[in-house]
Structure 1
Amino acid sequence: MAETLFPKRQRCKACRGSLGKTVNDPVLFGLYCSPKCAGIANPATRPEDAPRECTTVRDGKKAFKRVYRSEGEIPDRLREDPSTSWYTCAAGHIHIGHTRMGTPETFRMLGSPEDLADFLVKRRGKATHAQVAKAAGVQPIRLKELENPKKGQRVDVHVLFAVMAVLGSRPGVAMKELRA
C-alpha cells in the first residue's frame, strides 16, 4: 500500500509531530519533519558543500535549487509543461529537474517504447487522434497503438514514419562505436 504523503499527511511518520505547519517548516520525502526523523544527515548549509542534485549555477555562482515540499507546490505552468521533470533528492526535497520552457526541443533520445509513446503524445499536443491519423493517412487505432505500447505488440514502421512526418519530426539513430 502506498504511503500517504504531505499535504494529506499532517503528522511526521517517525515522531508524530506536526508536518509542514508553516511555510518554512521542512517536509522530507513527504513523510518526515526533520533529517533526524528521516534518518539522514543534516543538509548542507552552503551550496558549495551540497550535492550536485541540490544545486544549480546562477550568474556564474553555485546556488541552491528551489525546494518544494510536495508536487502540489510546484507552479502549475511548470507542472503542466511537458518538458519539465521533478525528482526527490537524497536530502528529501523535491526539485525541478530539466525544463526547456520557452525553447523548442530539437533532439530527443528514445530508450524504450514508452519514451516513443511519450514523445508522440506530447508532440500531438491538443490535436485528436482522428485529426493526426487522417492527416497521416492511417487508422486512428494505429496511432493509439503507438501511443499506448503493450508488450508483444508489433508496430507498423510505415505508420510510425507517416505519423512522425505529420507531427513535424523524423526518427534518428544513435550509433556506438563497435570494438572488435
Structure 2
Amino acid sequence: MAETLFPQRQRCKTCRGNLGKTVNDPVLFGLYCSPKCAGIAEPSANAGYQGTPRECRTQRDGGWFFKRRYRSEGEIPDKIRDDPSTNWYWCGHCGTLHVGHTRVGTAEKFRMFEDLGEDLPDLLVKLRGKATLKQVAEVAGIRPIRLKELETG
C-alpha cells in the first residue's frame, strides 16, 4: 500500500509535527518536516558548491542555480505536468520534487561539448533519465562502473 503524501498527510511521519503549515515550510519526500526527520544531511546552500549533486542544480547563463523545489505533485504547474518531455523526481539531496525534461534547448546545443570533460557527464546523466546505470551499461555493452566514471567526470 502506498504512503499518503503531502498535502493529504498533515503530520510529519517521524516527529508528528505539522507538515507544510505555511507556504514556506519545507516538506521532504512528502512525509517529513525537516532534514533531521527525513534522515538526510542539511542540503548545501550554494548551488555552485561541488558537493551539490547535479540532480539538485541546473546551469543557466554561465552559472549554477538550484532547480525549482516543489513540495507535492499538485504544486507543479499543469502546463509542466502535461508536457510529455518532462518528468519529476524526488531529489535525494534536498528531499523535494524537481522537474526534469528530456528536450535540449538551442542554448544547450551550442554549449554542449565546449569542454568535453565538463559537458559529457551532464549530457550522459540527462539522456539516461530514469534508467539505472546497470540498464544503460547493458545496452551499451560496457561495465556499469565505466559508465559511472564517465558520468562523474
- Point out 4+ residue stretches in structure 1 off by more than 3 angstroms: 99-103
| TM-score for the superposition, normalised by structure 2 | 0.64
Measure the CA separation in 1 of the matches of 2:43 and 2:105.
Answer: 32
1:86 — aligned with what?
88
Give the AA of the match of 1:77: K
- Compute the RMSD of aligned alpha carbons: 2.3
1:36 — aligned with what?
36
1:156 — aligned with what?
none
Structure with larger RCO (C-alpha < 8 A, sep 6+): 2
Give the AA of the match of 1:46: N
- What's the offset of the Cα at 1:63? 0.4
2:9 — aligned with what?
9
Structure 2 counterpart of 1:95, from 94, 98, 117: 98
Corresponding residue pairs, total? 107
Measure the CA separation in 1 of the matches of 2:101 and 2:80.
Answer: 11
Unaligned residue ranges in structure 1 (runs of 5+): 104-108, 110-174
Q: How does 1:5-154 map to 2 (within 5 A)?
A: 5-49=5-49, 50-90=52-92, 91-100=94-103
Distance 1:31 1:59, change over 3 A: same
Give the AA of the match of 1:45: A
Cα offsets for 1:116-168 (capped at 9, x unmatched)? xxxxxxxxxxxxxxxxxxxxxxxxxxxxxxxxxxxxxxxxxxxxxxxxxxxxx
CA contact (8 A) 1:83 1:101 kept: no
Larger Rg: 1
Unaligned residue ranges in structure 2 (runs of 5+): 107-126, 128-138, 142-153
Give the AA of the match of 2:101: H
